[in-house]
Structure 1
């Protein structure tokens, strides 16, 4: 369970004011001393992420956040970091105390969640110290919220919260399949994996590993080759493979070697669907004809990977874009799970594959760009387009640019 990638685990985050018992509740839910507990307000400063196994759900990421009412200059920065956590959360637990009424910061949080896309539960902690006041119950009822009463100290209500309520809210969470719906048991799939400067020493990158596992789960025969070995591998097979999947950088070589009638795509295109929204990314490609000299383009890298001399996002994509659309395009770069505040200044956002973050983060990026009226596309989709093979690469999904 500990080796399950964080990017495919449900992210459960706890939000609330200082000293309502968020850290204590995490410890009670997990049965471990995961979070530091103190009566001193503001003990939790930065969001704390912990990979856990939460039965009966299985592997999850628990996130402890700073108090919504943190004060001072640093406090406001902590509150903003807490808000950023919400954008990647699959289930929010709003932790309250059994007081007479909600505080303004709590009302604002609940209003945001009620009108947003994130499932949430309201948990009233410390029920061992006081009963739920009728006024608080009526206020929550008026919002359509039925709170769950627990005590992290005594354990009252914890099992029901974990085994019933959390599980029910996450019942629709499904990491999905990468390509299991595109192939059938017993079919052969060839994966083309170049070994270049960006390849990690002694291992494969996460999308390649996840794709292999997905094919094993689909009972497929998986053949892994480097790009120069593809033609030999095809000649050794008694029948054509059901699908060829390549690294985006080897698109042209693979397109030339794959026989007519054999479908092919890339890891990046697969993960564009798995982590994001193919339709939105294709809309981004359609917008490219509107680029003009001086157009500003944001390349968004959701992780802080080590950059190499021929970096795909910072070197190759800008070079290919300038070759295709003119040399006066202006590229800017961002790293991390957050997008810049002023997106309207960009004509296009190019999103990385998002292999190290969860799907909720990528979908939030897409929604944020759409709200700002800025087209967004994905590394793999864009590279396939620039190499003239996008139509072929999206055929396995029944899609077309037309």
Structure 2
């Protein structure tokens, strides 16, 4: 609401009036506008364009624009032209239609830490979100679909590393159902994939992104069984897996592990003596002990479903998050992908709200992929 008022005030001020301001003050004002307004500002005059495309402006935006977007990618298996990519901007409180990232329909599309990622039986590619600068790596040592993927940086390095965990393995173009525990890390310096210690065997029965969730937290890549409750961490420095533990609060049906600022958060559906609820727990990353952080208001949970509270009706519930936001949505089309968000301002205060419905017209999808990521202004204006 505050940003909307700022936009209205900015519109009332003439460009000539803005030109009388110092460049630092103009940069500050522009940096707190919604991203779509910043893009429009680049076309107003050369002065504004030079400010928005400067390196200092990107840093200013990073300070004021920390809230991550929710991305939903709808895949149509029959007509690829009907694929659709939408993003919810929490600053603007609005869904945006984005250009579709072109890829083979038999590949897996996902996003992590500011990048679109695409894996298939023959290739791995990545691209900064909202950029057209696509990078294609050499083939994975073990090509697979639906793996867990994380992006991270070495100290002092601008190029990302990618960790690929699990997934459906291919041998000679055929699916190998026997082994999907492979772990590889992409080294951007030599442009090759390094084999690492495999995912612990406890995850063998559910080794894809459909059964696992992941989180990058404090130099470790966490893997969590959505239904099993198994959890293990991969140290990104030593490349060693921790002992598998069980993280399962009482009454938990399924859950997702999320990295939220300085908190490791477990978000999941619970059915206990209080009835069905969607809960957030803060997790001690040293002991794996949990404490209740927040419970979604009952009226919001009711909005996510059609009124029937059998356990199987909740299976379409998905959850992603980053920094201070946790998004929860229903991936069923007949529910119009209804979603809500929880903002974690501190351990003692969490605020829930429903987010606007998706824009229409909405194409028909056979599969929906979701992820949460920050967005860099550099990828939009440069």
Same fold (TM over 0.5): no
Q: Which has the higher strand share?
A: 2
TM-score, length of structure 1 as denominator length: 0.28
Higher CA-based Rg: 1
